[in-house]
Amino acid sequence: MIGFILTGHGQFSTGLKSAIDMVAGDQPAFQIVPFEGSAAATYGDDLRAAITAMREECEGVLVFVDLLGGTPFNQAMMISADVSDVEVVTGTNLPMLIELLLTRSGASSLTALAEQAVAVGKTGITRQSIATLAAAAADDDEDGI
């Protein structure tokens, strides 16, 4: 199984984990490592320890971070240079995490799963309005069963 580590600024990872627990239930090989200002001095070591431990029990680790270029991203990238079979994905969102958590057992490789994360993350971002929702509902009614 490929392990997942979720990290980001403030309560980002804590909040997403809470939502995941509500929607998809408790997940194996899934851990959060929040980047809190009060623990900034130990954050890099904490993230490295989590990735290293997950790597020992999983065939690879996918690290999900909130923001390209921020401290969680920079630390994850430095760690991925030292630890084998670690991929980093930025711009993490809830649809991305839920779909990947539910489909990761069928992934052909860590790289393929990281690429799937990017595709699913983009698909999960849409603009909706009452008019587009009404039009979609009308199309569904016309199609029948």
pLDDT at residue number 16: 97
Beta-carbon-side half-sphere exposure of residue 20 (alpha carbons within 13 Å):
25
pLDDT in tens, 90-107: 999 999 999 999 999 888
* Count, residues in the chain: 145
pLDDT in tens, 114-137: 999 999 999 988 888 998 888 888
pLDDT in tens, 69-83: 999 999 999 999 999
Q: How confident is the model at residue 15 (pLDDT cuts 50, 70, 90)?
A: very high
Q: How confident is the model at residue 19 (pLDDT cuts 50, 70, 90)?
A: very high
pLDDT at residue number 54: 97
The mean pLDDT value of the chain amounts to 93
pLDDT at residue number 25: 93
Neighbours of 72 (CB within 10 A): 28
CA–CA gap between residue 137 and residue 145 (Å, rounded): 13
CATH superfamily of this structure's domain 2-143: Phosphotransferase system, mannose-type IIA component (3.40.50.510)
Averaged over 37-62, what is the pLDDT? 95
Report residue 107: phi and psi, to 5°: -70, 140
pLDDT at residue number 142: 59
CA–CA gap between residue 2 and residue 61 (Å, rounded): 6
pLDDT higher than 60, residue 144: no
pLDDT at residue number 132: 82
Of 139 and 130, which is predicted with more confidence?
A: 130
Calculate helix-pair angle for 12-24, 94-103, nearest 10 degrees. 50
Q: Which among 118, 121, 20 is positioned nearest to 6, based on CA atoms?
A: 20
